Chains A and B, each alone.
Chain A
Amino acid sequence: MTRFFSWLFSLLALAAFFALLLLFVWQSLPVLRAEGGSYVTENRWFFRQHQFGAAAMIYGSVVVSIIALMIAVPLGLGAAIGTAEYLPARLRWVAKAFMELLAGIPSVVYGLLGILLLRNWVYDGFVAFEPLSGDTLLTAGLLLSIMVLPTIVTLGDDALRAVSAKQRHAARGLGLTHAETILFITLPQAGKGLWAAILLGFGRAMGETIAVFLVVGRQDNQLPENLFSLSMLLEAGQTLTSKLGGAETNIAYGDPLHWAAITGLALLLLLITGLVTWLGSVFRRRSQDA
């Protein structure tokens, strides 16, 4: 009886998750049939003309996440070295509890802070480059960097602590300084776990919706001529998630091709975050087993 019900409930839950994936694949087929590869490579999203090319949104999502990581990774891993290697055990638990609390701050609250403070700071700070407003890809990236900090610090700290104390003692016994022990013994050994922290942070940044929605400007079809030019960062953009969270989702339902284009964005998001999180989880698991 117990066995029967745990199988039943488990299969029900698993069915829901697989149904989700299949539903998004099935619903987005029309746009893949109509647009083919240009759905992801072309930069033209004009839904009234039934033209759907999502390149600008993929660019937007990747760029804001990379900005977020460029700030959050050095700062977060530095802080993780601080909590794991320098803080006494008791303070370390306080710091970890604090991080957990901050990881729980709702994204709409971060979005509110972004609207009322950060976007003005960005506008004032970069006024020399004449941005049209404070709602830019850079603002979204900066906000995301704060939002993924707790993830990176917590996972980074776990990875460093998973390195056995014996190794540290041995290194110190050989006459290495505290810093040398960290740089040459702990960090290399924690490598997989640190990569897990970065990948899972990237996954979080890619999937974040509400906070990005509020500060990114939501301007369609914004793609720089040269992929490495930074001028776009001070202009409004669009990410996969900010498109999905917008009013267009409500409009699109009822028009099969437009709806397919919207679910296609969700499918892309699902595939990218799924791949990154899966890879991060594998790394994390290996670093814990080692």
Chain B
Amino acid sequence: MRKLINYLLAAAALGSMSVVILILGGLIIVIAQKGLPAISWSFLSSGMKQAGASGGIIWHLVGTLLLITTAWLITSPLSLSLALLQQVWLDKKGRWSQALRLFFYTCNGVPSIVFGLFGFMIFVQYFNWGKSWLVGGIVLAMSMLPTVTLAIMERMEAIPAKYLEASAALGLSKTQVVWSVILPQSLTGLATGSLLALARAAGETAPIMFTATIFAGATFPDGIRENPVLTLPYHIFILAQDSFDPAMGPQLWGSALVLIALVATLSLLALPLRLIMHEESHD
């Protein structure tokens, strides 16, 4: 009996693990299989024609990259500041510091559509910017902020106490300790947090659909007001709703494959850094 339960539990656990891997692996194989035939140099390097039925996705790629770069430039100084505030300027174990961290854990669960509506109200309507790449950047920055901030906080917390003690023994001021020990040591946190958040932001549709992106007729922005961009997720979102048109098929799957490749590259870049961190923490 005990032996039987032993085998049954192992079978159930490994079985559900295999099911999960099969479902999720199958998903990637389906997209790769349907998307690969559409991928060619001209698909990646030319603009869209016939409302997406032919041509390529260069401006969608440019638009997506512009949005996430803008978002990153806004998020990273804010995240570093917040992490420093929590770990250095406030009492690390104090009530405020703990509340700040819990606050960002909670913010991590805010649905991204809410950020989109916020940007729509403030910038698109109240400031009358219309749809603009900068609004998209700001909105995505807000959705990235909790992830990046928490990654840096966790990294800062893992800095060995002997480094801080050594710098204190050298008579460094708190500001000097920040610049010479804490910030250099937490760069990997910034890098991994940013890459994961960027990967998520690159695939977001909900926050940018009311604020930053249109379906056709935009190239590189030349100002802020009324300067939307084309983006890959929104392109897929619109085409998917017209999926009864057979001419859209290859274009649609091709765009999805390019988007997944972009996202996967960003999250795989973070992997070696995370493994290094993991090894170090077991010294």
Give residues in A with beta carbon < 8 Å to B: 1-3, 5-10, 12-14, 16-17, 20, 23-24, 27, 74-76, 78-79, 81-83, 85-87, 93, 95, 97-102, 104-109, 111-113, 115-117, 146, 149-150, 153, 177-180, 182-183, 200, 203-204, 206-210, 214, 241, 244-245, 249-250, 253, 262-263, 266, 269-270, 273-274, 276-278, 280-282, 284-285
Contact = CB atoms under 8 A, between A and B. Distances in A.
A207 B108 CA distance: 11
Interface string B191-225: 00000100110111110011000000000000000
Nearest to B253: A112
Nearest to A17: B107
B259 interface: yes
Given A102-B24, A146-B23, A253-B125, A244 B113 contact: yes
Contacts of A13: 78-79, 81-82, 145
Given A105-B203, A274-B110, A3 B89 contact: yes
B80 to A, nearest CB: 8
A182 B7 CA distance: 13
Grouping DSSP codes into helix (H, G, I), strand (E, B) and loop, the A interface class, with mixed when no group exceeds half, is helix
Interface stretch (B12-20, B37-45, B159-167): B12-20
Contacts of A263: 117, 121
Given A79-B13, A177-B2, A278 B102 contact: yes
B106 interface: yes
B179 A20 contact: no
B46 interface: no
B229 interface: no
Given A6-B89, A23-B122, A108 B117 contact: no
Contact of A274 (B13, B106, B209): B106
Contacts of A86: 10, 13-14, 17
Interface size class of B (residues with CB under 8 A): 35 or more
Given A78-B12, A250-B210, A116 B21 contact: no
Contacts of B89: 3, 6-7
Nearest to B17: A82
Given A2-B175, A6-B81, A207-B111, A79 B268 contact: no
Contact of A277 (B6, B12, B105, B275): B105
A285 B102 contact: yes
Given A104-B200, A108-B236, A210-B237, A249 B210 contact: yes
Contacts of B175: 1-3
A12 B275 CA distance: 33
